[in-house]
Structure 1
């Protein structure tokens, strides 16, 4: 639940951990470029240079784990790093202190004595280490100097999530681990792994081998943006079988990898909707006898599993194996977009309604969900589902993930249910990054426009809720669906730099956030992403718009700037696409008015990559 800032800070002061720290000074935080923005920052004058041989003092299991990770992360510096159980002579000390009240909070001090990270437990030490890494130069440096700093920090929310759909498009174990690194490095702690859907089943279930033999492969994939198709002839396919799945050993490997980084994985096994791939292998679970295949289109399919006893046995068997693989307390059952067409036509469903006294078929899904919830409880797990699970009625013990706006989340919190806020209009990062729908200057994506500032300014705590009700808001989660995200490079393009905004929504109190102050801090991270070879979206130049246009003597004058340090801005006035050969922007751009001119400008980053164009028509 949200952290109470006054209570936590009072505890810290009482423990003398913040005695020497001043109130939050925004300028030091800005200068350091830290994301997410810490609670308390001060920067005394001075720097500390890490020596060629670095010793990390790490007493205890958690400290040793974080020290091992830190050793790996410091490897690019080219220094010799050792982990020791002796504090004498150690340049970096990892200390645990029960006086730090939050398990994920930490204190970080850099001074002439070296570096000291203090936390109550492993998660706090890990987040302190991530802040420490951001204090180092973005690229390996011989000096490896750290600024003197004193930081006290803790998160606003206990659930800080990032989702990846591997059903529409499959991603390797290595890339899933890289994805976990992305979210952990920006202090997110929950990885929602969407493992099953109509288009493919991605997890090995020993009792049902046909799920990986049949359900994991679709015969082909749709070409183009389905939402733009108007007639059947528009639908064309690539003719290539597509599939993949994770073995249980691979799942265990990924779970262990995440655990070491204090990331909890929430697996999603869709039911009762989005289950055509299940019916492809086990058609007897359908209400309507037929032959099914994993779906080759996107969207919502009317064929869903029938809520009969064989279906319950199937999912109970599946969830038994899933529960054994994932140690976290939550299992996501989906529960969304489950059309009831087949259920309304089913004699078996009508019998269930008569027996249970239901007057609405939606109540059957509520009954289905409650049975699954009770079964999960026998495995020590809590049910979480998309907000449609509210429609058939749920117990107060179920957790709701609100995606169709905030309305369902508000309703659930008032009802006493825990809620993860994940509204599509603010946190669905498969949406486009250009205001022009299906812009030819952007890769193919699903409908919608979600710019960086809209994400950043989102507040997961609805004002309609009382403080007591707000305690049911566990936190926010961003989702990346992959209908049109086929490769790791494209995942990174959709994710960065928007993940940095998500990080601050999840960690930093809303009252302390400021988008104008976030942007220059974010800009300092492009060099870090370059160093890690991340395929981020290069932001287009700012200033080429009506708001920033100044009219002077029959001319429109634009002052442009790039968000990428060290980048060039190149422009054209003839409507052609700017590149390395077109005019370099060196002073305010003056464009004659009185004729229609299409002005285009791009950012060319130091690594040579170009942004999509900023465009403006001068008349």
Structure 2
């Protein structure tokens, strides 16, 4: 019977499919191939770049001269008067643009192409600068976006395509450049490397090993360490494949944790052939001792059972340099799942970072459910088309026409509570950031939709309760990201009711999780010029309040009220650097100084702006000297979303420079002028550059609370891309935030001497030979960036090196890209032709191909 029925079923399916195809006949726009290319930076000798779309009709029918449009996102301001090819381009808002055929466009016959050049602001150099999220919209179907399926970004191959300005000294990064950069790295035997990461204050290996199979019980001599003993039991149990018992108030056995008087988070670890002893004064110290034990484990132990595993005999005395060792993750621009956040927390725990700065709200998304304000995630956590912001936010950062991209997503209350509990078990504080008053578009749009809905229902009082905008505001402004409506109107009483409600929702969620909340980050960065200037509500407040004289005074008004709201709830205020600045006049010009009203324990600040040439290179030190608690978050060294180096195929932003693993590692927290030698164009800075900059005083040093690495997510549309930008840079942050300054930092030219290169060699050998293999297995494995090999031809021989010793190099001579079966590089290659080489990790992943011709 099956033989009879099966063909009939197939026939039915084929018939239905044919009918469906007939019904869903594709519009001519869906047969258009779209290409984009960089034409030239510094176009016609002026600031700005020219790029071009090329549209090719691969269909069998004409593309009509009108009746359609193309939407796309690009993080540059397109100059509409420069658009050619019979097209027009207009900005919708933010980074969303709309291309439409102009009067001069005659349509496109099958096989024909049209090129559409245009000029935009600043410059572009890599594929993440390209227009993204392209979709067609037909005039007769204005509510539907049709994703562009045939889109190609043409690689840049000419210097004019990536050279940003005449004084840009960076060209394409070649294999020869990489070889030179790696040339002073010495390969070191793994046996001689420090086996705990980050580097302990005191570390001494002895003779012999401790066999993990000896562990059958873990004793907490003081009950306060019960949870840490349980955590270690689970970790070791997973390695050994057996259950480990816990002994409370025990003082004997293979592993004992005891209480001793020492500084917060400090610990001592003693490993002998027959026992392990941990001493700490608090639970965090015991936890970090356990992370040091995990650091000693062989890499495959992180994959599960590792029978017969051992760790070396050693003595360790250790304590962190900074009490605040933070990592900030932006999930507003692009969403990252709960599971991905938990993986990041696992990383932070292993590398002894203790603050998770959760940047969950932005212009482009609000990602945590607020039980009392559901609109924040019903509307503010979704991006899509049509541009009807009573239902969702408009597309941005390439999120496209539907709600299936990383532009859409949020954490439910239950998921956020799970994150809090997971972090607490790993001694990680979670500090949520409510971006305000700028960078707040997701909240503003969500509350505006709520306002309009309730007004239609005749509920005026309820509508105005959490109102963040002034309906009559005619102010004209544009944020750095191109938004014209992204600021809360701080003259509205609803803003403070809104913040109070959000604060209270957070307090309730932390309480339900059983996790303490002592601080909330309230934003404060990049408020656009022109905000509130033509707002009747704002100007009326200024006229009534004797303490307000100009529109800018609303800034202090806002943060004083926000600080009071937090104080009433027993919470401390945390913000970006601008929250601690006061605008005044110097020689008739605007001048910013540390605001004395918020210093000395009132505000903790993240200071990011040390951009060389922008004039605020000393801002972190000025604020610390003024009494602010400062978390060093400098773009120059710890903005992990910056490109590793300059090449078309290397993703990420670069406005703050190019940041590889060396940048966070070489940072000198108390005197970062000493490791700033070049500007963003790779031009050497004059010796006098920092002469008139304020230096950190001993008083100011007391106010450097810690360090923070930051990962902004504009370009991070997948978990793999997030991990690529994060790792291995995070390890450089971990080393510098935990460990003391190495000796080379006190030399006259810190990064020029033999001590620097010796220490750098030790570090990269530890990363490549000990840490990356662990990351191949930790939490299922991380997609860290594998560096590209350096290659050079000398006297007819090809030599190769790599930034991270321990990775395997393989090469080909037949023009094919190397794979796991390709020849192993063990020394200089004399073979002729095109030599292609890749680096491979312990689990077979590979990086980019480097190639050189040996003639």
Structures share fold, TM-score greater than 0.5 = yes
Give the aligned partner of residue 37 of structure 2. Answer: none
Write the mapping of 1:39-58 to structure 2, written as runs, cut at 5 A.
39-51=201-213, 54-58=216-220
Q: Displacement, 1:539? A: 2.9
Change in Cα spacing, 1:175 to 1:357, as seen in structure 2 (3 Å) is: same
Whether the aligned pair in 2 keeps the contact of 1:494 and 1:536 (CA below 8 Å) is no
Change in Cα spacing, 1:398 to 1:538, as seen in structure 2 (3 Å) is: closer
Structure 2 residue ranges without an equivalent (≥5): 1-187, 388-395, 449-466, 511-515, 583-594, 611-616, 673-694, 745-758
Change in Cα spacing, 1:466 to 1:475, as seen in structure 2 (3 Å) is: same
The match for 1:349 among 538, 545, 557 is: 538
Describe the superposition over 1:402-427 as per-residue Cα deviations: whole angstroms up to 9, x where unpaired: 01125321121111101001011211
Whether the aligned pair in 1 keeps the contact of 2:212 and 2:309 (CA below 8 Å) is yes
The match for 2:842 among 594, 602, 606 is: 606
Whether the aligned pair in 1 keeps the contact of 2:809 and 2:839 (CA below 8 Å) is yes
Number of equivalenced pairs: 564
Write the mapping of 1:501-516 to structure 2, written as runs, cut at 5 A.
501-511=732-742, 514-516=759-761
- Between the aligned partners of 1:221 and 1:111, the Cα distance in structure 2 is 66
- Between the aligned partners of 2:370 and 2:320, the Cα distance in structure 1 is 36
Change in Cα spacing, 1:221 to 1:603, as seen in structure 2 (3 Å) is: farther
Write the mapping of 1:445-464 to structure 2, written as runs, cut at 5 A.
448-462=657-671, 464=695
Give the aligned partner of residue 330 of structure 1. Answer: 519
Give the aligned partner of residue 782 of structure 2. Answer: 535
Write the mapping of 1:140-159 to structure 2, written as runs, cut at 5 A.
140=301, 141-159=306-324
Q: Displacement, 1:362? A: 2.8
Describe the superposition over 1:204-233 as per-residue Cα deviations: whole angstroms up to 9, x where unpaired: 2233222122222122599xxxxxxxxxxx
Describe the superposition over 1:302-336 as per-residue Cα deviations: whole angstroms up to 9, x where unpaired: 43111121212211221222234342322101111
Q: Displacement, 1:170? A: 2.0
Larger C-alpha radius of gyration, 1 or 2?
A: 2
Give the aligned partner of residue 9 of structure 1. Answer: none
Change in Cα spacing, 1:55 to 1:45, as seen in structure 2 (3 Å) is: same
Write the mapping of 1:187-586 to structure 2, written as runs, cut at 5 A.
187-219=352-384, 238-241=400-403, 242-283=407-448, 284-289=467-472, 301-307=484-490, 308-326=492-510, 327-354=516-543, 355-392=545-582, 393=595, 394-396=597-599, 397-405=602-610, 407-436=618-647, 439-440=648-649, 442-443=650-651, 448-462=657-671, 464-511=695-742, 514-523=759-768, 524-532=770-778, 533-540=780-787, 542-544=789-791, 551-552=794-795, 555=796, 557-561=798-802, 563=804, 565=806, 567-571=808-812, 577-580=817-820, 583-586=823-826
CA RMSD of aligned residues (A): 3.1
- Between the aligned partners of 2:471 and 2:619, the Cα distance in structure 1 is 31
Q: Secondary structure at the match of 1:478?
A: strand
Describe the superposition over 1:211-266 as per-residue Cα deviations: whole angstroms up to 9, x where unpaired: 122222122599xxxxxxxxxxx997621124322233332222222112111111
Q: Displacement, 1:275? A: 1.5
Q: Displacement, 1:35? A: 1.2
Whether the aligned pair in 2 keeps the contact of 1:598 and 1:616 (CA below 8 Å) is yes
The match for 1:68 among 211, 214, 230 is: 230
Give the aligned partner of residue 92 of structure 2. Answer: none
Describe the superposition over 1:38-96 as per-residue Cα deviations: whole angstroms up to 9, x where unpaired: 01011121112123652100133431111111122121321331111264652111111
The match for 2:300 among 123, 136, 139 is: 139
When structure 1 is superposed on structure 2, of 529-538 and 453-462 the one drifting more is 529-538
What is the TM-score with the length of structure 2 in the denominator?
0.61
Change in Cα spacing, 1:481 to 1:62, as seen in structure 2 (3 Å) is: farther
- Between the aligned partners of 1:78 and 1:310, the Cα distance in structure 2 is 57
Q: Displacement, 1:512? A: 5.2
Whether the aligned pair in 2 keeps the contact of 1:353 and 1:359 (CA below 8 Å) is yes
- Between the aligned partners of 1:203 and 1:52, the Cα distance in structure 2 is 45
Change in Cα spacing, 1:378 to 1:237, as seen in structure 2 (3 Å) is: closer
- Between the aligned partners of 2:399 and 2:337, the Cα distance in structure 1 is 23
- Between the aligned partners of 2:189 and 2:738, the Cα distance in structure 1 is 19
Write the mapping of 1:91-130 to structure 2, written as runs, cut at 5 A.
91-98=254-261, 100=262, 102-130=263-291
Change in Cα spacing, 1:417 to 1:311, as seen in structure 2 (3 Å) is: same
- Between the aligned partners of 2:329 and 2:386, the Cα distance in structure 1 is 19
Change in Cα spacing, 1:300 to 1:413, as seen in structure 2 (3 Å) is: farther
Change in Cα spacing, 1:502 to 1:88, as seen in structure 2 (3 Å) is: closer
Whether the aligned pair in 2 keeps the contact of 1:196 and 1:202 (CA below 8 Å) is yes
Describe the superposition over 1:502-551 as per-residue Cα deviations: whole angstroms up to 9, x where unpaired: 10011011135832211111111121111223233343355426xxx6x4
Whether the aligned pair in 2 keeps the contact of 1:543 and 1:561 (CA below 8 Å) is yes
Whether the aligned pair in 2 keeps the contact of 1:159 and 1:475 (CA below 8 Å) is yes
Change in Cα spacing, 1:91 to 1:478, as seen in structure 2 (3 Å) is: same
What is the TM-score with the length of structure 1 in the denominator?
0.84
Give the aligned partner of residue 38 of structure 1. Answer: 200
- Between the aligned partners of 1:247 and 1:338, the Cα distance in structure 2 is 29
Change in Cα spacing, 1:573 to 1:512, as seen in structure 2 (3 Å) is: farther
- Between the aligned partners of 1:420 and 1:598, the Cα distance in structure 2 is 49
Whether the aligned pair in 1 keeps the contact of 2:813 and 2:831 (CA below 8 Å) is no
- Between the aligned partners of 2:818 and 2:447, the Cα distance in structure 1 is 54
